[in-house]
Amino acid sequence: MNWLYVVGIVVFLIGLMFSIALHEIGHLIPAKLFGVRVTQYMVGFGSTAWSRRKGETEYGIKWIPLGGYIRMIGMLPPRPGDDPGKLRSTATGPFQGLIESARDAAQEEVRPGDEDRVFYRKKWWQKVIIMSGGPLMNFVLAFVFFSILLVGIGLPTWAPIVSPDTNTCVIPVTEQRAQCKPGDQPTPAAQAGLKPGDKLVSFGGQKITSWEDATRLIRSHGPGAVQLGIVRDGKPMALDVTLIAQDRPNLENPNKIDKNVGFLGVLPTQVMQKQTIGQVVGYMGELTGRVASSLLNLPEKMVGVWHAAFSGEARDPEGPVGVVGAGRMGGEILASDLSTENKIAIFVNLLAGFNLAIGMFNLIPLLPLDGGHIAGGLWEGIKRAYAKIMRRPEPGYVDIAKVLPLTYAIALVMVVMAGLLVYADLVNPLTLTN
């Protein structure tokens, strides 16, 4: 195995652990600011690899880098009428037993004097801020990574610069070949003397600012003579070219053929084009919409993962990918023949996209996700506001323990989904060429 592949996986896992650590810090800081006693801050799951206690909190790293958590006391309220400082026996009935066991566990670490330091007694907006802190940190990280990518490195863009891969002959669209052969007609570009590295700046007096501009102007012109403005070695030049008519793939749908469009015969060059912070916001907003759409269609997407895992169907590039798959992609990136700049760009984009997906997934308003606790806090705020407006007694705390049976069911579904993704990522992984 290529050692760069292994290094790529390790680097991705380090980036993932860093993201998880900051996600939990997003919960930890507001929890401590609002006076909640936090007993543990852990990155990872499983047995503890390292830990150190500072004050009332144990900070540590666990061996399995698939998540993290902070442990806050009193996440669930006691049953109405119970002494919050005492435990009670578990009730009969499977669901009620689960609920009461969870209540007992939530009260076990509550010491005398902690009555006002438990999570459930905090104001509703404080609960929302504490539980929103983790996803918010993921969004901040995604924005930072996307800013590094777009502003610092740039996005790969096709520039109107003649590529060295440009053919000097006309190859009909119906022929699946990339090399010229004897008897092929020279392209208008070759006849006019265009060379690799020439930058197209104008066409028939119209300015060219992008490869899209050049393609649109050339195709719409049709066959015939036209003056082409270029820059060669920093010097502006004008060339007279005679376009010919050719059948070419449609720009929007490559499976469709446009008949008799203008043809020059050049290929563009891929360059890294730097963006502005405003463009970062727009780029992230567009990607957020796509991720939200994927989350709404997650059951359908997981069916696709199932077929890919057990029927050998191709993986959907827009479908979900697990930590194992993302780690393999990290290894593939580093072991590829891409330039160092492109490797860094793809790696940063992978981490940015992963943070965006984690942040949005955690906002789903279902327990055990952060969004479930946020929904509980918001519902409590609505109930208290309604009671205040209607001049009714202040309602009690929202008891999210009542939805614990659903929570356990969702947790089981999430475990199954995670297992399916791991299997699919092993037997039929997404790759850079997907």
Asked if the model's pLDDT at residue 98 lies above 50, the reply is no
| Contact indicator for 350, 142 with CB cutoff of 8 Å | no
Alpha helix (H) residue ranges in 274-403? 277-296, 298-310, 323-335, 340-362, 370-389
φ, ψ dihedrals at 26, nearest 5°? -60, -30
How confident is the model over 257-297, as pLDDT tens digits?
888 889 999 999 988 888 889 889 998 999 898 888 888 88
The domain locations on the chain are 158-273
Asked if the model's pLDDT at residue 161 lies above 60, the reply is yes
Categorize the per-residue pLDDT at 94 as very low, low, confident or very high, splitting at 50, 70 and 90: very low
Phi/psi region, residue 74 (left: phi>0; alpha: psi -120 to 50; beta: rest), is left
- Residue 434: the pLDDT is 56
Among residues 75, 32, 116, 122, the alpha carbon closest in space to that of 384 is found at: 122
How confident is the model over 165-224, as pLDDT tens digits?
888 888 887 777 778 888 888 999 999 999 999 999 999 989 999 999 999 999 999 899
Torsion on CA atoms 147, 150, 153, 155, rounded to nearest 10: 160
Structure-token match 């590039």, residue found? 317
Structure-token match 């039929």, residue found? 428
- pLDDT winner (highest mean) among 20-29, 170-179, 285-294, 393-402: 20-29
Q: How far apart are CA 86 and CA 118, in angstroms?
A: 14
Question: Looking at 24, 100, 332, 380, which residue is catalytic?
Answer: 24
Asked if the model's pLDDT at residue 128 lies above 80, the reply is yes
Q: How far apart are CA 32 and CA 222, in angstroms?
A: 69
How confident is the model over 31-51, as pLDDT tens digits?
999 999 998 899 988 889 999
Lowest mean pLDDT among 127-141, 250-264, 377-391: 250-264
Query: What's the mean pLDDT in 72-88?
Result: 62
Among residues 122, 135, 118, 142, the alpha carbon closest in space to that of 26 is found at: 135
Q: Does the domain at residues 158-273 carry the CATH identifier 2.30.42.10? A: yes
How confident is the model over 224-255, as pLDDT tens digits?
999 999 999 999 999 999 999 988 888 778 77
The token pair at 371 is 């969004």
φ, ψ dihedrals at 248, nearest 5°? -130, 155
Q: How far is CA 191 from CA 171, 207, 246, 316, 335, in A?
A: 15, 22, 16, 43, 41
- Residue 241: the pLDDT is 92
Active site residue 286: no
Among residues 108, 101, 117, the alpha carbon closest in space to that of 85 is found at: 108
Asked if the model's pLDDT at residue 403 lies above 80, the reply is no
> How many residues are present in the chain?
434
**Percent of the chain whose predicted confidence (pLDDT) is above 90:** 33
Q: How far apart are CA 354 and CA 23, in angstroms?
A: 12
- Residue 87: the pLDDT is 38
